[in-house]
Amino acid sequence: MSSSYSARSRYYKTEINGHKLHPETQMMSYGYDPSLSEGALKPPVFHTSTFVFNNAAEGKAFFEVAYGKREKGEDEDPGLIYSRINNPNLEVLEDRLRLWDGAEKGLSFASGMAAISTSLLAYVRPGDVVLYSEPIYGGTEFLIRNILPGFGVTGVGFTTWNEDRSLTIATEEAKAIAKENGGRVSVILVETPANPTNCLIDLHECRDTALHIEQELGHKPLVMVDNTFLGPLWQRPLEHGADIVIYSLTKYVGGHSDLVAGGVVGSESLLGPIAGFRTILGTMCDPQTGWMILRSLETLKLRMTQSCENARVIAKFLNEHPAVESVGHLELIDPSDPAAQVYKQQCLGPGSTFAFDIKGGEAEAFKVLDALKVIKLAVSLGGTESLMEHPFTMTHADVPNEVKNRLGVTESMLRISVGIENAQDLIADLNQALSLIEL
C-alpha cells in the first residue's frame, strides 16, 4: 500500500465520450484506484491509526493543510496523517456520498446524531437561536431541548399545519430571542418528511426565510436538512435551497441493520468548520464501518426502489383496512392540501417509511405489534427487512407527552419501515395482526 494514497492519485471517472455516468454506476469504482492496493477490486480495510511520511517536510506540509495554517495549493490534496483526521476508506466513502446529492464534499460520522450534533456545534454560539421543524427525530429534539440550552443556545420550533406555530411566527420569536441574548438566528434545521408523521417542510420557504433574516439582521442562517427518510434517491435538498444535508447512514444508505454511522454533504467551504469540529471531537466514522457502507452504496438504488414499490402496495392496503384510521404515506396526501404541492415540487418518490393510526390506543397498538410474524418489532428504518414500532413510547419516548399530542404523535400511531420482502407476505402479516382489533 502506498502512503501517498490520496485524492490526487485516486481514480475518478465521471463520463465516457461525453456521456455522464450516473451515481449508481459511479458507486462501483469512483475514488478508488486498484493499482494502489495490490490490484484489489474492492478497497481493503485500512486498520491503522497512523500513516508514515516520506520525509519530515511532507509531514509538516500535511499538518499545515490539515489544521488550516495555510490554504492547500491548487493541485495539492491533504496527505494522510492519522485516522481521526483522514483515512483511505473514509476518503473513498466521502467521495461517493456526495454523488447522489451533487455536492462538492462529503463527511462521514460515527452516527447520525454525531453528524447532527457536530454540524450544529460547528455553527452555533452562545446567545444563538436554532429554528427547527416539529416533529423531529427524538434524539435531535432532545439535543435541542435539553443539551444546547446549557451552551446558551435556544431552540424555537415551527410546524407546517398550525398557523400559531408557522415558520413566519416562529422566525419573529427567534429573532426577538436572539436580539435579547446578543446572538443570531444561526441555523434553520428541518427534517422532511418529519419523523414519524411524514409532514413535509417547504425547503424553498426555508431558504427564503434565511435570506430575509440575512437582509434584516446581516447574518444568514444555514439551512440544514435531515434527509434520512427520502435521501438520497427520492429527495435532494441542495437543489431546493438547503446549505447542508445530513443523513443517518445507519438507515437506507447502510441498509442492512448492521452498522451505525452518519453523513453530511454540502459545499467545501461550509463543511470545512464541521470537518474541523469532527477532528477535535473525534466523531468520525471508523474504517470498518466505512468499508461496509461502501458495500451498501453499490445496491442502494436497487434496495430503495424495491422497498418504495412495496410501501406503495402496503399503504393502499392499510388505507382500505377498517381497523386503520389514517395513513401517512406521501402519495395519499389530499390534493387540496398544500403539502401535495410541496411533495410535487421537491420529492422524487414517497420512500418506504411512514406512520399510520389504528382504531384504539396504546393497548391496541401493542396488540398489533406483538402479533407480527414476519415484520420485526424494532426501531430504526431503511433496512432490507420490514420493521414496526410505537413512536409514542419508543423512538419519541423522551419527547414530552404534551408535545407529542400537539404534534399528532399519538398512542394509536404505528410506524412501519417497509423492506424488500414479498409485498403480499407483508400484507398477510399485517392483516392477521390488525384482525385482532375489535371494531
DSSP secondary structure letters along 341-364: HHHHHHBS---SEEEEEESS-HHH
The predicted structure's pLDDT at residue 72: 82
Determine contact, residues 352/311, Cβ cutoff 8 Å. Answer: yes
Cell numbers describing residue 163? 398557523
CA distance 330 to 349: 8
- State yes or no: pLDDT of 147 exceeds 80: yes
Assess whether pLDDT exceeds 50 at residue 9. Answer: no
Q: What angle do CA 354, 341, 339 make, to 5 degrees?
A: 45
Confidence of residue 2 (pLDDT cuts 50, 70, 90): very low
- At 35, the pLDDT band (50, 70, 90 cuts) reads confident
Percent helix, strand, coil in the chain, to 5, is: 40, 15, 45
* pTM higher than the cut 0.85: yes
pLDDT at 320: 98
Rounded average pLDDT over 125-139: 96
pLDDT of res. 33 = 87
Split at pLDDT 50, 70, 90, the class of 68 is: confident
| Pairwise CA distance, residues 251 & 258, whole Å | 10
Look at residue 144 in the predicted model and tell me its pLDDT: 97
The C-alpha angle 318, 161, 117, rounded to 5 degrees, equals 90
DSSP letter for 157, please: E
Summarize the confidence of residues 191-201 as an average pLDDT. Answer: 95
User: Is 162's pLDDT higher than 80?
Assistant: no
Number of helices (H), then strands (E), belonging to the chain: the values are 14, 14
Task: Specify the range with the lowest mean pLDDT, choosing from 36-40, 59-63, 319-323.
Answer: 36-40
d(CA 228, CA 112): 9
Instruction: Give the single-character DSSP code of 171.
Output: H
pLDDT tens profile 295-320: 999 999 999 999 999 999 999 999 99
Lowest mean pLDDT, pick from 56-65, 127-136, 155-164, 214-223: 155-164
Binned at pLDDT 50, 70 and 90, residue 67 comes out as confident
Domains, the chain, in order of start with CATH, read: 7-86 (no CATH), 112-249 (3.40.640.10), 300-434 (3.90.1150.10)
At residue 95, does pLDDT exceed 80? Answer: yes
Segment of 24-33, 390-399, 420-429 carrying the highest mean pLDDT: 420-429
Q: In this structure, what C-alpha cell is assigned to residue 47? A: 486498520
* pLDDT for position 164: 80
Distances (CA, A) of 38 to 41, 43, 124, 296: 9, 10, 45, 23
Torsion (CA) 359, 363, 366, 367 in degrees, nearest 10: -80
101 three-state secondary structure: helix
Residue 327 in contact with residue 210, Cβ under 8 Å? no
At 45 the pLDDT is: 94
Whether the per-residue pLDDT at 11 is higher than 50: the answer is yes
Average pLDDT over the chain, rounded to an integer: 94
Task: Tell me the C-alpha to C-alpha distance, in Å, between residue 428 and each of 2, 149, 431.
Answer: 54, 47, 5
pLDDT higher than 60, residue 362: yes
- Measured CA to CA, the distance from residue 102 to residue 99 in angstroms comes to 5
Whole-angstrom distance, CA of residue 315 vs CA of residue 319: 6
Question: How does pLDDT run across 224-267, given as a tens digit for each residue?
Answer: 999 999 999 999 999 999 999 999 999 999 999 999 999 999 99
Inter-residue contact 433 to 368 (CB < 8 Å): yes
User: Which residue stretches of 88-241 are H helix?
Assistant: 88-101, 112-123, 138-142, 167-181, 203-217
- Res 389 pLDDT > 90: yes
Band of the pLDDT at 7, cuts 50, 70, 90?
very low
Q: What is the pLDDT of residue 6?
A: 46
